[in-house]
Amino acid sequence: MKNKQDNNLQQERKSRLDLYKRSTFRKRSEKPQQGLKTTLRVIKYLNYEKKVIIVVIILILLSIIFSLGGEQVKRILLDDFIKQGISEGFALYVLYLAILYLLEIITTYGSSFLMIGITQRTLKTMRRNIFVKLQNLAVSFFDRNRDGDLMTRITSDVDNISSTMTQSFISFITSTMTLILTISVMFWMSWKLSLIACVTIPILYIAAKKVTDVSRKRFRQMRYERGALNGFVAEQINGAKVIQSFCQEQEIINEFKIESTRVKKITINALAWGSLMMPVVGFLNRLRYIIIITAGVILAINGDPSATIGTIAVFLTLADRFGGQINNLANLYVDIQNALSGAERIFEIIDDQTIIRDKENAFELTNVSGHVELRNVTFGYLEDTVVLKNVSIDAKPGMKIALVGHTGAGKTTIINLITRFYDVNEGEILIDGINIKDVTQKSLLDHIGIVLQDTHLFSDTIMENVRFGKLDATDEEVIQACKLAKCHDFIMKLPDKYNTRLTPNGSNLSYGQRQLLSIARTILKNPDILILDEATSSVDTITEMTIQQALKNLIKDKTTFIIAHRLSTIREADLIIVLENGKIIEQGTHEELLEHKGIYWRLHNAKDADALKEFDLISA
């Protein structure tokens, strides 16, 4: 029996790890964008930098010309002055050589400096596009994708593109131009030696193509797995208190080891393939070197006029440079593949179509009285799963609607549909008789206020956190909202009062204080329709009474949907809706449902806390 339980536990852990690695992006990645398409999209971001890029290319070209010019001066020094001896022109040629090398250094630095500016401006645009897209994506997008993986894309993947653009762009242009000019000079010096030097190029191309094709796939897989690992870590950090309260630290460590080992193996595999390019190219370069020396000696012995000592010496330098540039391009190709795999992941966010779009003729929702209707609504988060089945609710203006049901019954889904975070599959939702699909989503949400259990506060002052409910509110309006929310008194006791800066998510405040600030923010917004996910967290009696009084001030004269967790709250509702498996099984007032003697009657009279827990209720 114990072995069976252990096997089930192991299977459950494996399923959880699989979930960490699953996302919309992961499914899409099975058919990745072609490298050329992604490259062109990255280049498109450089359109605004055309003039500066032209200057960079000119500087790179000048740098190469100065470098190759130095080689020609060196050939003259070797061929002419060794035969003639040191003469008056010798010092002048040495000066020419020094000037050319100095100009090479200056132009190289200039191109690098300009490229840094190009890169940072381009990435600023890319980051802005990603962030704007994230702000416009539907809530369902964030429900499906893990925070850690998204953060990896926005930070790590963008930074990887940054380093590649800054370093690799110049190197790529330099190597390509150097390669072309070097080959041209080599053929000008000796076409025979040049043809011999090119004999290894077909072999190099075949080897490079094989290595890069495989390494590209490995790098793409590596980045997805790293994103999954970051998502896992972010989830464990956010759930640290829960993990410790259940003494599950060792279990989480074991799961991390499994995932970390997987990432390690995939990373080693990717880097091994990536690093294979250098020894392959290096071997072929050395082979070319041997061939050139052998051919040069043979040509010199046979009296070929192009095979002088100076020519062969410079030719070997050029051939070495030729091989070095091919080696650089090979290494750059691997780096670029790594960056492009990150770019693909970034463009997946930008291209994502998980957006609730307004109709072409959508209009602004105005003068709302708060009459909310759900008519025969059916909905599922996935195509083959139905969460709500033929649900109808009629909430008259100012009514308090309590939603009751076990976890997964559909309470939160109803809220998601009223706010149009998701669109219904069947049926319709009306506000004051108007289908919410016919109005702009912004104007819809302007009339809806939401207070959730998990209050989100920003790393800013208390004043600005509350003002988030109405950005043009005056300080006096913010303070008045805080007074109605019963949080003014505790704020005034803080050292900096309303200018007190909160730590991330308001962790320097108590749970009750964070709840009160959230209520104040919604009071300031003054919406016509309210959605309240009643808190279940335990607070002291005085704080509980304060929160309840603040909520009464908030919901006064407003149509309110409450995901209820307290029997006392449910009793005060104008309409109680009991949900089970996505269907409404009971609805009515407190008195009507008690007379009906159904599920609500059993819950109301339950003396066993476990019976209440099944429906996410507490007796208070």
Model confidence pLDDT, tens digit, residues 303-326:
776 667 667 777 777 777 776 777
Is residue 600 included in any domain, yes or no?
no
8-state DSSP, 499:
G
- At which residue do the structure tokens 């359109």 appear? 47
Please tell me the predicted confidence (pLDDT) of residue 371.
Answer: 92
Mean pLDDT of 214-231: 75
Confirm if 451 and 549 have CB atoms less than 8 A apart.
no
Both 51 and 186 in one domain: the answer is yes
What is the pLDDT at residue 492? Answer: 92
Which structure tokens are listed for 469?
């409910």
Does the residue 207 lie in any domain?
A: yes
Residue 463, in any domain of the structure: yes
CB 157 within 8 A of CB 226: no
- Span of 155-164, 188-197, 235-244, 345-354 with lowest mean pLDDT: 235-244
Whether pLDDT at 513 is above 70: yes
Residue 112's domain comprises 33-351
Structure tokens at 306: 């192009």
**CATH code, 519:** 3.40.50.300
Per-residue pLDDT band at 66 (split at 50, 70, 90): confident
Task: Report pLDDT for 124.
Answer: 82
* Segments in 431-498 forming alpha helices (H): 441-446, 462-467, 475-484, 488-492
Total domains in the fold of the chain: 2
Of the spans 47-51, 52-56, 263-267, which averages the highest pLDDT?
Answer: 52-56
- Kindly tell me if the per-residue pLDDT of 611 is higher than 70: no
What's the Rg (C-alpha) of the chain? 35
Among 84-93, 101-110, 221-230, name the one with the lowest average pLDDT.
84-93
Does residue 588 sit in helix, strand or coil? strand
The domain boundary residue, chosen from 526, 543, 578: 526
In 170-255, at which residue ranges do the beta strands (DSSP E only) sit?
none
In the chain, % of residues over pLDDT 90: 8
pLDDT at 26: 45
CB 451 within 8 A of CB 533: yes
Q: Per mean pLDDT, which range of 276-290, 418-432, 490-504, 570-584 is the poorest?
A: 276-290
Residue 25 has pLDDT above 70, yes or no: no
- Both 328 and 459 in one domain: the answer is no
Q: Is the pLDDT of residue 553 over 90?
A: no
Residue 325 lies in a domain: yes
Asked whether residue 99 falls in the same domain as residue 231, the answer is yes
Mean residue pLDDT of the chain comes to: 78
User: Is residue 42 a contact partner of residue 343, using CB atoms and an 8 Å limit?
Assistant: yes
pLDDT for 9:
41
Name which residue leads in pLDDT, 116 or 10: 116
Is residue 55 very low, low, confident or very high in pLDDT (cuts 50, 70, 90)?
A: very high
Whether residue 219 lies inside any domain: the answer is yes
Looking at residue 337, its pLDDT comes to: 72
- Cβ atoms of 615 and 406 within 8 Å: the answer is yes
Q: What is the pLDDT of residues 110-144, one digit of tens each?
A: 988 888 888 888 888 888 888 888 877 777 777 77
In this structure, the number of other CB atoms found within 10 A of the CB of residue 98 comes to: 12
> Do 487 and 520 contact (CB within 8 A), yes or no?
yes
| Nearest-angstrom CA–CA distance, 472 and 435 | 29
Q: Any long-range contacts for 39-42 (C-beta under 8 Å, 24+ apart)?
A: 39/336, 39/340, 41/343, 41/347, 42/161, 42/165, 42/340, 42/343
| Boundary residue ending a domain (485, 510, 526) | 526
Give CA–CA dist 354/136, Å, rounded: 9
Same structural domain for residues 186 and 328? yes
User: Is 278 part of a structural domain of the chain?
Assistant: yes
> Is 292 inside a domain boundary?
yes
Predicted confidence (pLDDT) at residue 2 exceeds the cutoff of 60: no
* Mean pLDDT to the nearest integer, 383-410: 86
pLDDT at 430 > cutoff 90? yes
pLDDT the model gives residue 20? 44
Give 578's contacts (C-beta < 8 A, 6+ positions apart).
404, 405, 584, 585, 586, 587, 593, 598, 599, 600
pLDDT confidence band for 298 (50 / 70 / 90): confident
- The reply to whether 61 and 185 lie within a common domain is yes
CATH number, position 154: 1.20.1560.10
Final residue belonging to a domain, choices 351, 367, 389: 351
Give yes or no for residue 349 having a pLDDT over 70.
yes
pLDDT band at residue 540 under the 50/70/90 scheme: low
Displacement of CA 589 from its chain's centroid (Å): 46
**Vertex 62: Cα angle to 61 and 63 (nearest 5):** 90
* Average pLDDT for 266-293: 75
| Mean pLDDT for the stretch of residues 564-592 | 85
In Å, what is the CA distance from 313 to each residue of 7, 81, 235, 307, 598? 71, 15, 62, 10, 99
Q: Cα(266)–Cα(223) distance, rounded to whole angstroms? A: 9
User: 196 with 328, same domain?
Assistant: yes
The residue among 29 and 401 whose pLDDT is bigger is 401
Residue 315: closest CA among 39, 78, 590: 78
Query: Which pLDDT score is estimated for 392?
Result: 92
Q: Which residue has the higher pLDDT, 103 or 200?
A: 103
CB 338 within 8 A of CB 219: yes
- Cα–Cα distance between 130 and 542 in angstroms, integer? 45
Is residue 456 pLDDT above 90, yes or no? no
**Is residue 592 in some structural domain?**
no
Residues 324, 181, single domain; the answer is: yes
